[in-house]
């Protein structure tokens, strides 16, 4: 009687744990099914909305507000170029000279109305140099806007691959719970006939509960990643996000020297540094010419009442120059300032190149490591681990292997599968870093990995 009660209790606990685990695993599927936008794909073999990396890039380009602000700043800088190449506006003055007070009548012989036009003209090619400096600054600002867009693109890719790892781990958890349920059923059946132990059934239930706990943790991580992507896309916090599809990575990695050369020539932040150096050089030349006086031209027209009742008209031409009487405190200091700014921009450019070279090295090493390990896991580690599980399961059924060995082998496979997905995401992150550093697309973001296609085909065949 007591034994039957224990069996009934164990069975109830197992069913409850399995239902909780399965419900926790399947819960995010409906949340993930929210459409991303009109371009979101749908994998009918899985029944969950999916998202391509290329579609995400398009949305980031269109909706990211930091990128929009940077583009507006670049437009403002471009609008200042033409302003720098024009002299100051002329001054037109109208004067009423020598009027008596308080009657405000022109005094005899000396009262007149005067019209004067003055124009200051910078000499020594100052306007051309100012235009060159402003044009270089505008070009640098435009390149920095491109860098902001690339940075937003890279952030989106990092969240995309993190979300991919989480979703794949949720799939592993779902499959593991199913397998643990099968193992638990075998253990329970063996216990009923007296060939198994009660601890085996309880341990299976404990592992199912642990997987349910991991699922809840991954769901919270997914919500955090979705919130991060919604912030990049300027969408509502409640907006859902489909399951990311891993893009197809290139079969080979470009040479490190080629990546360095492309980055030095095409990375927007490096190009911005070159433009800033050109702007500083033009500003330095302009500062040296500030000592040259500026020319002021003027034309004056006046009229007054003549002795015979007519109107006497007069004209004058004026020429003037600015006098650099404070040259030591002004013009010479401007030279020192411009020289220091030039040195700063040159140092910044050297630092950008060094930083780019170092980051390319880091991304290159991360990509090489992830590719090699993923290949090893896919071709050797996982097949051997799965074969070990199959062998242990067969041995457990005939009583030659204990339950703990079978369970540990199953959880090791689960761990290796999750590590493989993390390695695939690491590859994507490394490619995204290299794209940001080189300013060039290195993978087809609208493609789908062959592993993903094979998995979908397998799922479709199983159904």
pLDDT higher than 80, residue 208: no
**Do 34 and 50 form a contact (C-beta atoms < 8 A)?**
no
Which two structure tokens, joined as six digits, stand for 389? 């599980």
Distance CA 215, CA 204 (A): 17
Predicted confidence at residue 110, as pLDDT, reads 81
Please tell me which residue, 203 or 250, carries the higher pLDDT value.
250
**H helix intervals, 317-402:** 331-376, 382-397
Q: What is the pLDDT of residues 83-121, one digit of tens each?
A: 999 999 999 999 988 888 888 888 877 888 899 999 999
> For residue 451, is pLDDT > 80?
no
Write down the pLDDT at residue 461: 39
If phi > 0 it is left, if psi is from -120 to 50 it is alpha, else beta; for residue 444 that is beta
> SS3 of 96, please?
strand
Note the pLDDT tens digit of each residue in 21-64: 434 334 433 333 333 333 333 333 333 588 899 999 999 999 99
User: 152-156, 201-205, 273-277: which has the minimum mean pLDDT?
Assistant: 201-205
**Domain at 2-87+122-291+327-462: CATH code:** 1.20.1600.10
User: Does residue 444 register a pLDDT over 50?
Assistant: yes
Task: Tell me the range of 103-107, 218-222, 345-349, 399-403 where mean pLDDT is highest.
Answer: 345-349
pTM: 0.78
- Of the two residues 167 and 111, the one the predictor is more confident about is 167
For residue 390, the model assigns a pLDDT of 86
Residue 154 to residue 426: CA distance in whole angstroms:
13
Neighbours of 1 (CB within 10 A): 5
At residue 354 the predicted structure's pLDDT band, cuts being 50, 70 and 90, is very high
- For residue 219, pLDDT over 90 is answered with no
Across 198-207, 216-225, 308-317, 353-362, the highest mean pLDDT is recorded for 353-362
Q: Of 385, 407, 387, which Cα lies nearest the Cα of 396?
A: 407
- Domain ranges (residues) in the chain: 2-87+122-291+327-462, 88-121+295-326
Q: What is the pLDDT of residue 319?
A: 92
State mean pLDDT over 288-306: 90
pLDDT of residue 282 exceeding 70: yes
Q: What CA–CA distance (Å, rounded) separates 7 from 201? A: 10
């Amino acid at each position: 009687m007591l034994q039957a009660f224990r069996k009934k209790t164990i069975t109830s606990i197992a069913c409850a744990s399995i239902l909780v685990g399965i419900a926790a695993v399947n819960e995010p599927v409906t949340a993930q099914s929210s459409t991303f936008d009109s371009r979101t794909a749908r994998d009918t073999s899985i029944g969950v909305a999916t998202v391509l990396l290329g579609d995400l890039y398009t949305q980031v380009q269109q909706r990211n507000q930091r990128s929009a602000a940077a583009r507006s700043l670049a437009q403002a800088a471009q609008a200042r170029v033409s302003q720098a190449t024009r002299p100051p506006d002329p001054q037109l003055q109208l004067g009423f000279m020598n009027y008596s007070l308080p009657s405000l009548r022109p005094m005899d012989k000396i009262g007149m109305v005067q019209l004067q036009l003055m124009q200051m003209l910078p000499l020594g090619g100052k306007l051309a140099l100012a235009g060159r400096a402003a044009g270089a600054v505008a070009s640098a600002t435009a390149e920095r806007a491109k860098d902001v867009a690339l940075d937003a693109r890279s952030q989106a890719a990092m969240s995309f691959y993190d979300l991919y790892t989480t979703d794949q781990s949720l799939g592993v958890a779902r499959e593991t719970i199913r397998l643990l349920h099968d193992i638990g059923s075998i253990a329970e059946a063996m216990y009923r006939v007296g060939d198994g132990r009660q601890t085996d059934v309880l341990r299976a239930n404990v592992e199912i509960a642990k997987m349910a706990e991991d699922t809840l943790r991954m769901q919270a991580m997914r919500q955090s990643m979705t919130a991060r992507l919604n912030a990049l896309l300027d969408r509502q916090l409640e907006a859902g996000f489909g399951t990311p599809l891993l893009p197809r990575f290139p079969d080979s990695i470009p040479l490190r020297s080629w990546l360095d050369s492309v980055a030095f020539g095409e990375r927007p932040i490096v190009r911005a540094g070159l433009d800033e150096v050109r702007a500083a050089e033009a500003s330095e030349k302009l500062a040296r010419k500030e000592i040259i006086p500026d020319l002021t031209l003027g034309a004056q027209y006046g009229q007054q009442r003549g002795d015979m009742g007519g109107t006497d008209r007069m004209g004058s031409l004026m020429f003037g120059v600015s006098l650099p009487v404070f040259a030591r405190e002004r013009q010479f200091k401007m030279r020192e300032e411009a020289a220091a700014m030039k040195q700063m921009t040159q140092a910044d450019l050297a630092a950008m190149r060094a930083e780019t070279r170092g980051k390319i090295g880091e991304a290159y090493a991360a990509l090489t490591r992830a590719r090699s390990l993923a290949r090893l896991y896919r071709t050797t580690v996982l097949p051997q681990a799965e074969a070990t599980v199959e062998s242990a399961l067969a041995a457990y059924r005939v009583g030659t292997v204990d339950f703990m060995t079978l369970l540990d082998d199953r959880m090791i496979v689960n761990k290796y599968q999750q590590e493989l997905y993390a390695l695939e995401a690491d590859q994507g992150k490394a490619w995204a870093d290299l794209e940001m550093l080189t300013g060039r697309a290195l993978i087809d973001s609208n493609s789908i990995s062959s592993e993903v296609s094979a998995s979908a085909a397998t799922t479709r065949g199983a159904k």
